[in-house]
Structure 1
Amino acid sequence: PIVGLEPSCLFTLKDELPSLLRDRAGKVPEMAMLFEEFIAREAAAGRLDGLKLKPIGTKALVHGHCHQKAFAAMGPVQTALKLIPGLDVSVIESSCCGMAGAFGYEKDHIEVSMKMAELSLLPAVRAADPDTILVADGTSCRHQIHDGAGREAIHVSRVLERALA
């Protein structure tokens, strides 16, 4: 497997590489997967049965990166997080965070970017209890959450790392 952390980068291998290289892309697109897809696959196959995870909180609130949503990759995020004992996992029903890579940092786009974030993402983050773990796999999504709501969101891999016994 080719395991990636950043959804926009990983889906370049899965989605865009075949269009660019056609038959020369080989098995790369089918072997490429997000970290949480790999974890969910390994858990389903029973290869994580000896993994010891400890409780680290009671609630996790997840914002899905646009690529995760577009390619139906949100289920594995939830599956990976639900490996943590006692963690209630909820997904924020949101559209794009508004950042779209560097789009939201450009002076001509920042207002539009923040309006997009304010549709549902930032209000949900602000309404979350202070001890709720905020999860966002996209780098730009995490920056938008921090800049717009003053909260830190972390990648699912870091959440699992915290739960390692």
Structure 2
Amino acid sequence: MFSGKLFRAVCRTPATQSVLRQAVRTKYSDKLIEHYENPRNVGSLDTNDDSVGTGLVGAPACGDVMRLQLKVDENGIITETAFKTFGCGSAIASSSLATEKLKGKTLDEAAMLTNKDIAAELLLPPVKLHCSMLAEEAVKAAISNLQSKRLSASKTEVSFN
């Protein structure tokens, strides 16, 4: 049995790294690996901005937590997206892909993004489908948050007139 230090030292060798990379590539698609290794739109948008919607989903107890944000312009088009995900590579890749797919869409179009779309594009294995479900939930939660802000703002405007 390897000790922890010896195992970590062996795993750092170029030959072992190559074998590990090959093993990962046989289980996960190139697109999933690309989004995990180079995630797009990582970060935060201003939650106080009325044109920004924020969706926070997941459960810290199970390990995957996803915050996804979107910003719309005056025409209701999504111009910016951001996410922070604490979870596995599939959850990070699902978040990254979702933020890319949202840009340039209306809220109605964004609401049509499903976990099946994300899972199919990333070729998620069955045991990782919950990651795409979280991404869909986060998108819907961000849209709902933005709509709530807009409704609240319109009620405030009416009460001052």
Task: Compute the TM-score of the two structures, normalised by the length of structure 2.
Answer: 0.22
Bigger helix share: 2
